[in-house]
Amino acid sequence: MLRPGLMRHSSFNLVATLLCSPIVEVSSSLGIWNSIFQVTRRASHYSAEEKLNILAKRTLRKAGIETSSKMTADILWPPEKVRGMTTLDHEAFHKTITVPVAHVSLSAVSPVFKVLKKYYLKLCNFSAIKEGPPGTNYKVVYLNPLSFPGNESKISEEIDESCKKFFKTVSSGERPVQFLTSQIELTYENWDAPETIQAVLPLEDNGVSGYSRVGHIIHLNLKEHLHPYKNIIGKIILDKSPTEVSMVVNKVDTIDNSDNTFRCFTMEVIAGGGDTVATVKENMCTFTFDFAKVYWNPRLSTEHEMVVKMLDRSDVLYDVMAGVGPFSIPAAAQRKCRVVSNDLNPESFRWLCHNVALNKVGERVTCFNQDGGDFIRSTLKEDLIATCTDPDFQGEIHVTMNLPAIAIEFLTNFVGLLSDANLCSDTFKLREPIVHVYMFSKDLKASSCATRVAYYLGLVDELPDFDAEFTTKLQAYTVAAKSQKSACDETCKETEAFTPNIKFVNDKYDIPGLIVKHLRFVRKVSPNKAMIRMSVVISKDILVKKKPVLDRREGRLQDQHASKKRKLETENF
């Protein structure tokens, strides 16, 4: 069961800037949220009235409602008096409008409705077709005041043609439809969440960029300029979400703040309330966890599924930063392979064990609560040697490392990992691991991602600061774009050139010793940063390398056996 005005468009991808070529375009899904954002961001030279009309028209068009030039689109938009509201007042949304209606004879419902259906008035919680008053023989059809006026003659001809086909003849008597007008009252229940929120916010403010749903919790990341409106935004979203949703929270700080080791963020409840222990379903598995204490991102479900599908029953998966199990549990449940899972966060470890039991995969999953580096150098190493000496093992070795801010730094632990193992034993058959490592990238170049991975595997000696170089270029581009924009005629609309879709540069690279099986753009995490997955083979040469591993982060030799705490870089994830 849905609450009134279910928010239909939850995904929202902001646009990023590309400064180099060649390019491979990455598709993005844009909904009403994106329309609202683009209108409020673009064309600052529009007057408030013009901007409101454009915004209303685009929002309605996304909902399949085409508009005519004879009437401004704000007739179907919430009343202007709600703008700037910080405390929700349902009564303020009441609005009376005049719309065209059709009285359709009961005997001609089928052929007439066939013509009129594309002109129906489509609003949340509003039925465009109603019964006529008692004692009458017609139905009342409410029509769109933006698309119907001006098309009456064309529609009448289409109705005649439709009736002729249906009845094989057209009666010369009373017409099957009469067009009139009628007044209707619109209320708070007749608009969805994006429309309602944008109607409340000042016109100069960008709207809400989207949200994530985690079980009964909706999670927002509101920009600072929206904080005065956070409570009304939360209440609107709660009202217009499925009844299962009972809480709306807003992220207070970044997930990467310097005191955070476990990828958790501070959140505030802005609507509803209750417990933060959520249950979700993903990839045919059930996960329960405390959303306030562990990391969970519903936008990664497709990525989890793609990696799991690479696995076979005969394979082994080492999940170094397992969280609550989005890779580990589907791998064991769906692919039936053996899994060794680890996470440093005690809460994640607790819920990982809980979810292993919940999904009945305890026979195939073993869980650990260690630092990722310690896990690789001890547990993974021992199990890898045992696996490679098992004469019955015929599968592949997969390793997932999903901690994008710093996961590539953990690659140093594979350098020389088997340098002290007896590889010459008759029973030892080396299987080179495939590591699926995640990282953030600003310049979105394949060569940059490959160089980062190669650096931490000891295959290259220098690591340029690719992100800093990109930031400098972006600043220069922004200045040039603003200059170009201001030079435009004030009556023209801003073109897409100022907000190009995100692209990935699939340029070539040749790094000796680096074996890349897959390179995938996963998703955008901010306007100028993306999440990338690189699947690399850790070759025998890397695994048996004798020279000590350089701690690339500190520029000094790393004691291979020292336990180490890592803090996440302060970037918005």
- How many other C-beta atoms can be found within 10 angstroms of the C-beta atom of residue 224? 6
Residue 150 CA to residue 123 CA, distance in Å, equals 21
Residue 106 CA to residue 435 CA, distance in Å, equals 67
Q: Which of 44-49's residues contact partners 24+ apart within 8 Å by CB, and which partners?
A: 45/490, 48/203
Radius of gyration of the chain (CA): 29
- Residue-level length of the chain: 573
pTM: 0.76
- How many other C-beta atoms can be found within 10 angstroms of the C-beta atom of residue 237? 24
* Residue ranges at the known binding site for S-adenosyl-L-methionine: 304, 343-344, 371-372, 402
Task: Answer whether CATH 3.90.1150.10 is correct for domain 24-80+192-275.
Answer: no
All structural domains of the chain with their residue ranges = 24-80+192-275, 95-186, 295-487+496-551
The per-residue pLDDT string of the chain (573 residues; one tens digit each, 9 = 90 and over) reads: 444 443 333 332 322 322 333 323 233 333 344 444 344 444 344 455 555 555 555 555 555 555 554 456 688 999 999 999 999 999 999 999 999 999 999 988 888 888 888 889 999 999 999 999 999 999 999 999 888 777 777 788 788 777 777 776 555 556 788 889 999 999 999 999 999 999 999 887 777 877 899 999 999 989 888 999 999 999 999 999 999 999 999 988 755 443 456 667 788 999 999 999 999 999 999 999 999 999 999 999 999 999 999 999 999 999 999 999 999 999 999 999 999 999 999 999 999 999 999 999 999 999 999 999 999 999 999 999 999 999 999 999 999 999 999 999 999 999 999 998 888 788 889 999 999 999 999 888 899 999 999 999 999 988 888 766 666 656 555 555 555 555 544 444 433 333 344 567 788 889 999 999 999 999 988 877 899 999 999 999 999 987 655 555 544 344 333 333 333 333 333
95-186: CATH number: 3.30.1370
Q: What angle do CA 318, 286, 242 make, to 5 degrees?
A: 135
Backbone angles phi and psi of 107, in degrees to 5: -75, -15
* Residue ranges at the known binding site: 304, 343-344, 371-372, 402
Tokens for 508? 């070539």
295-487+496-551: CATH number: 3.40.50.150
Tokens for 164? 């002729």
Q: Which residues is 339 bridged to in the sheet?
A: 317, 365
With beta carbons less than 8 A apart as the criterion, state whether 508 and 447 touch. yes
- Nearest to residue 145, comparing CAs of 98, 179, 185, 96? 98
pLDDT at 34: 42
With beta carbons less than 8 A apart as the criterion, state whether 570 and 256 touch. yes
